[in-house]
Amino acid sequence: MNSIKYIHVHERLVRNAFDLASLLARGFLPSDDAYQTQGESLVCFQAWILYAQRLSSNTDVLVTHLRELVGPALNCFAIDDLFQPAAELFSDVLSNYSGFFTEAHYASLASLFDSEWAAEHYNRVIHGDHQLDGISFGLLMLAYGDAKVSDLMCSTDERSQRFLARLAGLLAADGYLVGEDSIFVPALEFWATFVETMIDNIYSEDEAKVNVWRSHAEQHLKSVVSNCWRKAQWPPAETFAEWDSNERVGFTDARKDIADMLQSIFTLENLTLVSFFSGLFLQALSVQSWAEVEASAFCLGSLSDCITEDPQYDVELSKVFASPFFDLLGQAQGPVPLRLRQTGLLLIERYCEYFERHSEYLPHALNLLFAAVGDPVLGGPSAKSISTLCSSCRCILTSEAPAFIMHYQTIRSRQVLDSLAEERIILAIASIIQAIPDSNQKLAVFENLYSIIKADCERAVQLKQQPSILNLSDPNFLRGVEQPGDVPSADEVSQQLAVRALRSLQSMAKGMQDVKEHVVDIDADPFFANQDPKLSAIQSDILNVLVEMQKNFNTSGEIVEIICIIFRAGFSETEPGPFVFPPEVVTDFLSQQRFETPRLGTLLSTACSFVGSLYRGPKNMVPSLLAQLLPWVINMLSSLPEPESDTEVAQNGICFVDKIMTRYPEVVFQIQPSQMLEFFFMFSLKVLNGKEPLPKTASAEFWSNFITLKSDSPDLQGTINAAMEHLGPLISQTLIQNIGGNAARSELDKLSDPLKKLVTSQVRSRQWLEQALFDPSFPGQQVGNDEKSTFLRKIIGLRGARATNQVVREFWLACRGSNFSYAS
């Protein structure tokens, strides 16, 4: 459309506007060909309007002639055979080019919508079969509504009010959502736009102006909310079962859209909306209309993120949570349908903050959730709700922790729980234990829960060592069977038992994390020095369990990964705890790992996190721990057959050394034997010259930091300078090899960082870079010596400025040749 080459074509088309209008005007007249000519005229008219919209210039003449045809096109609505193409034309233009119509055209459309003919078509949309009758008229109404939404909202005349009432009525068409009623979702989209426009106007316009129309608009919103509530009701189970997967997904998606719009309406209606749904909930409950109760609970749940701590909201919510519904919900064989039980339990989770403020309802809520844990359908959602609720209300529930442990033991003794549900329950109980203020009581309750998981770990190890003890009629062993009915081997069961037990321990570690922030004194003595002997004994026991599990399941990468997660849980803590192991314990555990250990990259990543946690604590113990870990890391790297044979190991190993070097360079340069450091430098350069993006990025960051490394110690600074004198030419050559064509386009910005640091901080950088550019091994054969010299001059002249990245990119393209401009 914007090509200069075709300007003359568009000018000629525009000159044809008069002839076009004459031809179409004749085409819209009645004829003897069963309306075929009029139908073709509508299609042609629609195409030319679309063309006029896309024209960038000289549109006035064409649009003026086309607008003369709107009246004849409107007359086509009166002909049944032309209704579909006419509705499609006007819907399309209203939606995509609403400025095409004049106010006179809009007035004509408004009159059309207020006619008896329109009333008949509207009734077909509301009460007809959408698959047979279609919804074209409804979509036409919505397109008009979208185009005039601001005017309709601010109008108080009877015609506008009738039209808005009908648009609200589109949300109440016969049939269930999506499968039978296909107009609901488009209508909901219109009303979402209407609400957004209301909010914008209310907060931007003068209050006196808003008051003129606001009450009328809010009256329509009441109808919208009421209709949405009815439509959100689930069909009977037998009806839902007959739907195909698309209809089921469409129904649940439409309910999510309803929830989104209710949140928008809440901005305007606030307490009125909450009161409306709580009233509907109680009214439906009194007559046991379960579909209506479920829809009310769903709508209330959708508002949970909007409701504040205002006592007025709590009054309305208390009516719901103090109702007989939750007594009925606790009856396993009661009258409440399964889907309503799911929604009711979810409602409890959504209002965690309410239960924090009203602890009198909390025990009953948790009892309901625990009672549902054993249910195959409700177990997972209930466990999630328990976890959320206990985490939020941990300080209120501390006295209940022993009772919850007993409840958990009772449940697991009766049946094999879903593993994820069990992990969530353990997380919930652990979060309550964490909040117990008395340390002795906290450790005692912790040991009660830990002893259950420890027994699971010991059982897994015992089965691994003695396969003959497997008894699949014993619930304790059935926990290791992934699918009911499977007959796995003893080795498979022991493996699954081990993973499941450690995941439970992982949940304990997560739950025991402190949610409060504490001030850290980095100059103070570490709290491990005066640690409670009982806590130390528990930590020692946990560590022994972890070591024993890894030793017996030494080929399992999953076991290693879970152990790493358990250690990480303590790294962010600033107060003592069962999983906050003394740094020397973590150091010993990591440094004893062998190259053959599965998931070695995860262990090195954990070591990186551990170093970061050390920097947040007391400084006096850090160097000795780093000096123990550094040789281990470099030994792991030296065991790789090639630097890129395990990208995760290479990446995390380089990151680890980088973390140490930036804070404690003396640890790096004092490593013994010194050949280890030389190996690492060469290793990192090989990675930088390689093809793997993640380790390469880590290497680029390492060299960026190394090039500008400074120390307050004159001796250490001398050592750093000497190393740079030796490594400078090698770094320069590696960078130039990449920029000269070996790197991928996506790597250039990262490679530009060490180049900029080199230019700004090293006096011999020009000499080194020049030597690398004119080396025979330079890969970019497409560029000559002049281009190389120009590139070097620009890089040095920019002195590390951001424009260096663009110069690097242009030089890389020149080295690769024009064929690679878009391919790399």
In tens, the pLDDT along 594-632 reads: 999 999 999 999 999 999 898 776 778 899 999 999 999
pLDDT, residue 447, reads 97
Has residue 674 got a pLDDT over 60?
yes
pLDDT, residue 60, reads 86
**Long-range contact pairs involving 307-315 (C-beta distance under 8 Å, separation at least 24):** 307/274, 307/354, 309/353, 309/357, 310/271, 312/271, 313/271, 313/274, 314/354, 314/357, 314/358
Has residue 821 got a pLDDT over 50?
no
- For residue 2, being part of any structural domain is answered with yes
Query: What's the 3-state SS for 314-374?
Result: HHHHHHHHCCCHHHHHCCCCCCCCHHHHHHHHHHHHHCHHHHHHCHHHHHHHHHHHHHHCC
- For residue 381, being part of any structural domain is answered with no
CA distances (Å), origin 811, targets 693, 721, 770, 806 = 20, 30, 15, 9
- For residue 768, being part of any structural domain is answered with no
- The number of folded domains in the chain is 1
Least confident of 4-13, 97-106, 286-295: 4-13
With bands split at pLDDT 50, 70 and 90, how would you rate the model's confidence at 767? very high
pLDDT, residue 30, reads 84
Has residue 371 got a pLDDT over 90?
no
Q: In angstroms, rounded to a whole number, what is the distance separating the alpha carbons of residues 81 and 77?
A: 9
Q: In angstroms, rounded to a whole number, what is the distance separating the alpha carbons of residues 170 and 190?
A: 11
Q: What are phi and psi of 359, to 5 degrees?
A: -65, -15
Has residue 10 got a pLDDT over 90?
no
Q: What are phi and psi of 181, to 5 degrees?
A: -115, 100
pLDDT tens digits for range 771-794? 999 999 999 888 999 999 999 999
- For residue 725, being part of any structural domain is answered with no
Which residues make Cβ contacts (< 8 Å) with residue 766, sequence separation at least 6? 759, 792, 796
Radius of gyration of the chain (CA): 36
Has residue 46 got a pLDDT over 90?
yes
DSSP assigned state of 692:
-
* 80-114 burial code (b ≥16 CB/10 A, e <16): eebbebbbbbbbbbbeebeebbeeebbeebbebbb
pLDDT tens digits for range 514-541? 887 655 555 555 555 567 899 999 999 9
- For residue 532, being part of any structural domain is answered with no
- For residue 4, being part of any structural domain is answered with yes
pLDDT, residue 34, reads 67
Has residue 692 got a pLDDT over 90?
yes
Has residue 820 got a pLDDT over 50?
no
Which residues make Cβ contacts (< 8 Å) with residue 236, sequence separation at least 6? none
Range of the domain at 60: 1-78
pTM of the model: 0.81
- For residue 738, being part of any structural domain is answered with no
How wide is the angle at C-alpha 206 spanned by C-alphas 202 and 211, nearest 5°? Answer: 65
Going by C-alpha positions, the residue among 66, 74, 132 that lies closest to residue 99 is 66
- Residue at 341: amino acid letter: R
Q: Which residue would you say has higher pLDDT here, 782 or 566?
A: 566
Specify burial of residue 746 (Cβ count, 10 A radius: 0-12, 13-18, 19+). Answer: exposed
With bands split at pLDDT 50, 70 and 90, how would you rate the model's confidence at 157? very high
Q: Provide mean pLDDT across the span 207-212.
A: 90
With bands split at pLDDT 50, 70 and 90, how would you rate the model's confidence at 8? confident
